[in-house]
Amino acid sequence: MPEGDTVWRTARRLHEALAGRQLTRSDLRVPKLATTDLSGRTVLEVVPRGKHLLTRVEGGLTLHSHLRMDGAWKIYAPAERWRGGPGHQIRAVLATADRTAVGYRLPVLELLRTTDEGDAVGHLGPDLLGPDWDADEALRRLLADPARPLGEALLDQRNLAGIGNVFKCELCFLLRASPWLPIGRLPAPERATTLAKKLLEANKDRLARVTTPSARPDRRQWVYGRGGRPCFRCGTAIRTGEQGPATQERVTYWCPVCQPEDADTPSFPEPTG
């Protein structure tokens, strides 16, 4: 599941493969870009912005893509077999003389003027892995709606960019707070931004995401993906429940003992696991 750390690594791989090189092939397989050809243009850079990827090419153009749940960019050598998925899942092909970048299952693919990138990413809060990271501004945005549940506030990219559902669940556990706790009632709320920054920085160079002290495959996350299994700290079964607006609900994992329910929060959901 792509989150800020995954997108950061993807941007780095794309930049290393394409930046400073002229495109010998451009194939953008979405209807609105079907006749667009970037061949002959030099790729200037590929940069991440939260969960967004911005591929800037000469001529003042930016190819904007977003991975969402299962999108991916793969890099191949000229004679290498493409193995990222069946051909009908390919949405973009960008090739140079010695590398080919193939975008699979990209739900967002659009070509913008570089000067108009703000139309696509201007709404985002400070980027946890970006040069614009501002912990004070991120905290201000998080606390702007003190009644909002902690988990929803952390997942909202307008507050701080880069947290997905995995990091949301893990952060709530590390904060010892229910995902449904109103964020305005979180003790020492500045710890939320500090821990978020620490977790993403620690994982940006890792292929396997780790949020616990152990790198064992079965102990890499405290709660995420562990519904019904014992909490590593107290042994209580991890619970699951849906959180978020109806069209954006995410399965949330939490320990009811290490993250006790807030008695003043009547909307706390019934567990589903």
Catalytic positions are: 2-3, 51, 250
Q: Give burial (CB, 10 Å; 0-12/13-18/19+) of 137.
A: middle
DSSP secondary-structure letter at 203? H
Please give the Cα distance from 64 to 55 (Å, whole number): 6
Rounded to whole angstroms, what are the CA distances from 93 to 2, 4, 6?
20, 23, 20
Please give the Cα distance from 215 to 232 (Å, whole number): 14
Max CA-CA distance within the chain? 62
Query: 3-class DSSP state for residue 246?
Result: helix
106 closest CA partner among 157, 47, 65: 65
